[in-house]
Structure 1
């Protein structure tokens, strides 16, 4: 897929507006063309019944069965109801078509419009739901194509002994780029043998100069399903870092977005187990690659990890489990425990039926085993309407506070389990993180 096509937004701009208009026009045309005089009542009844059925489906999937482990917002429920109502109305209308002349153009339209209307109605609902979640903001993201390209990384220079002095005395050289750059890189699982998809690296303007200063590191993780590019395409971390760098002489944290999943449809739960050695990959292979290929600061205060949903859970697990590596973490709407759906399925599928190993890998188990934490900063962020994950994150935050972590709990106004909550969380965490990391 060409980069220009991959970069086309589908949750903002002209694309969703055009699709909504076409869907409304097609559904209306299908009803008008397909219904014989006097049959509007049947179409209305079918539309209302379809909407009620859609509401029941949303309630069952989102509330009763919780199949997606995500609470549905009012916007999501509206689109589900609208889609079912439109499909039912179009279906009822198509059954009441007049015969008309067999070869007349009107007859061909009567045959085609129900199918066109149904496809456009489903597509419009999908875009509406995606806009609410913010999961796939571009065509590329929807098809697993990031749109970012590979670029040579700057040569790593020797890190001076006193890194803080280097950063305090840094002045932007002439010719420094005005914005940072996101590049696709390969981080092999040399030790873990984890089969990861390509990672992405954001380098701020200062890191793109001839003699870049050593900079702090933020490892950012997407949710599941997701891919590394989601933290930039949906989470806009590159824009956030560029805004910070614009007022700080080109300085900002380097952001590395590795793949903790291996596939959008697999959840290794950031542990070493039957589903892949995700933990070793993220705590051994990725940090070694970063130190070998990027000019970065050493020391736990200069390293942070953060993520959304499943990535937020991983951030707690890895920061709590390896406090010598990460001094801070950002958990945006993370889970209470790593999960494959049910506790039994998780223990059987991810921990080879070892319940003790499962308990030890939970945020609670990791924190209690390594308590107390004298100098770990934890940010928890949830959406105001995301009641399910708010309850979970409050429990984890309470445990983190009890073991000595410095905890900040944020509620994003008016958002749910979506990337808008991620934006809010990182925007509010960044000033504290950068100060801890040694940036001015």
Structure 2
């Protein structure tokens, strides 16, 4: 039953098409019903209430999104308009419910239900957050990784490429495999949820090379499963591996928060535990012990979306001995949780200097000059993240980092930005890691604008 739920897609396919069609048909039926009943006054009332409801919903969504910034970021005009249209249709159907009886009232009630579900589903499609019904309920979708399954590396990526040029690579499957595994906080005592791991085809060979590793973090609220499904990690990496002789980064998505309701800020604190120690000691140690990965920082990348993107621009600069590359999307300018003074008091025991040390621009400056690389992205409809991205990118360039900045056109603070930007990001980093040349220039990827830093 649970696996079945995980196969029902929410962002494409038959379910959204069917729901949107039923919503449209029932709304049309209510209009036709009112016209056939020759009750123009009732129809005008329904239209008027619908318009008032729509305008009210539009206003409230805009206030919540862009004035009071309840969620910390703008919801984007596509979401705001969806809320307004949903309220318009629901208001219209509610008046039909009040003016009818019997089966006509039942039809109006059904229309209200369809309208609410359609609006919610449309918002989910805009964000790309929940890709299946199972993901709403955090249904596990990957098999458990047995610690004896992966092999230790026996060659370099260059050696593998040399074998590939002669058609002599060790046997390996056509596609990689995603797993779930618990990475224990043995040094940090941090209580993390299970992590997700993607092993590319080359890692599943009996003689794997020492592969690059991407440590990628979901936002908050979020989970490792959310990152793998919403960002499409397995399909993205499989596609890359198919073009590069089975080579692709090993991807590990650990849990940096401990719960969907926690925001650890990726720091060691008395609030939610030693998240930074977990990410800088326990996670890398587990990866090196259990997976066929390279040891050089130039082959290690830390990245993430939203709060996970912010974490990557904190942890990456603070730990250049581990992470040579940083891959944030829609991150913030600094760790944020409520009012700043209260956050400093709760998370940093009132020590402002400890907080400032976690601000990405400060962390970058503290380690300058730097040999790290930064591939950073934000959605075109997310001005707050774009501004933060440019500020951090300029600081990184000033510190000596190699920097690429891209904007994902047509998306906002959502997973569409991640999927759009990480495709060229993977190509760019993959070339630097020796897995093969880029198929095309960064700016030639769909819906990508490459920015130049002054």
TM-score, normalised to structure 1, is 0.92
Q: How far apart are residue 271 of structure 1 and its match?
A: 0.5
Question: In the alignment, is the contact (CA less than 8 A) between 2:170 and 2:207 conserved in 1?
Answer: no
| Helix, strand or coil at the partner of 2:288 | helix
Aligned residue in 1 for 2:160: 167
Q: Distance in 1 between matches of 2:322 and 2:48?
A: 61
Q: How far apart are residue 84 of structure 1 and its match?
A: 1.2
Indicate how the Cα distance of structure 1 residues 412 and 116 shifts in structure 2: closer, same or farther if over 3 A, else same.
Answer: same
Q: How far apart are residue 231 of structure 1 and its match?
A: 2.5
Aligned residue in 1 for 2:68: 65
2:359 paired residue among 359, 362, 383: 362
| Helix, strand or coil at the partner of 2:197 | strand
Aligned pairs for 1:151-230 (under 5 A) are 151-152=145-146, 155=149, 157=151, 159=153, 163=156, 165-171=158-164, 173=169, 175-230=171-226
Aligned pairs for 1:283-302 (under 5 A) are 283-302=280-299
Q: How far apart are residue 159 of structure 1 and its match?
A: 4.5
Question: In the alignment, is the contact (CA less than 8 A) between 1:31 and 1:93 conserved in 2?
Answer: no
Q: How far apart are residue 91 of structure 1 and its match?
A: 2.2
Whether 1:40 and 2:43 are equivalent positions in the alignment is yes
Q: How far apart are residue 108 of structure 1 and its match?
A: 3.5
Q: Distance in 2 between matches of 1:76 and 1:127?
A: 11
Tell me which moved more, 58-67 or 229-238: 229-238
Aligned residue in 1 for 2:95: 92
Whether 1:75 and 2:69 are equivalent positions in the alignment is no
2:425 paired residue among 425, 429, 437: 429
Aligned residue in 2 for 1:103: none
Aligned residue in 2 for 1:383: 379
Q: How far apart are residue 26 of structure 1 and its match?
A: 3.5
| Helix, strand or coil at the partner of 1:394 | helix
For structure 1, the 5+ residue unaligned runs are 98-106
Q: How far apart are residue 146 of structure 1 and its match?
A: 4.1
Aligned residue in 1 for 2:6: 6
| Helix, strand or coil at the partner of 1:225 | coil
Whether 1:242 and 2:245 are equivalent positions in the alignment is no
Question: In the alignment, is the contact (CA less than 8 A) between 2:22 and 2:114 conserved in 1?
Answer: yes
Q: How far apart are residue 426 of structure 1 and its match?
A: 1.3
For structure 2, the 5+ residue unaligned runs are 437-454
Q: How far apart are residue 396 of structure 1 and its match?
A: 1.2
Q: How far apart are residue 169 of structure 1 and its match?
A: 3.0
Aligned residue in 2 for 1:282: 279
| Helix, strand or coil at the partner of 2:357 | helix
Aligned residue in 2 for 1:133: 127
RMSD, aligned α-carbons: 2.1
Indicate how the Cα distance of structure 1 residues 168 and 23 shifts in structure 2: closer, same or farther if over 3 A, else same.
Answer: same
TM-score, normalised to structure 2, is 0.89
Question: In the alignment, is the contact (CA less than 8 A) between 2:228 and 2:234 conserved in 1?
Answer: yes
Aligned pairs for 1:415-426 (under 5 A) are 415-426=411-422
Whether 1:272 and 2:268 are equivalent positions in the alignment is yes
Tell me which moved more, 138-147 or 172-181: 172-181
Aligned residue in 1 for 2:449: none
Indicate how the Cα distance of structure 1 residues 7 and 342 shifts in structure 2: closer, same or farther if over 3 A, else same.
Answer: farther
Question: In the alignment, is the contact (CA less than 8 A) between 1:303 and 1:437 conserved in 2?
Answer: no
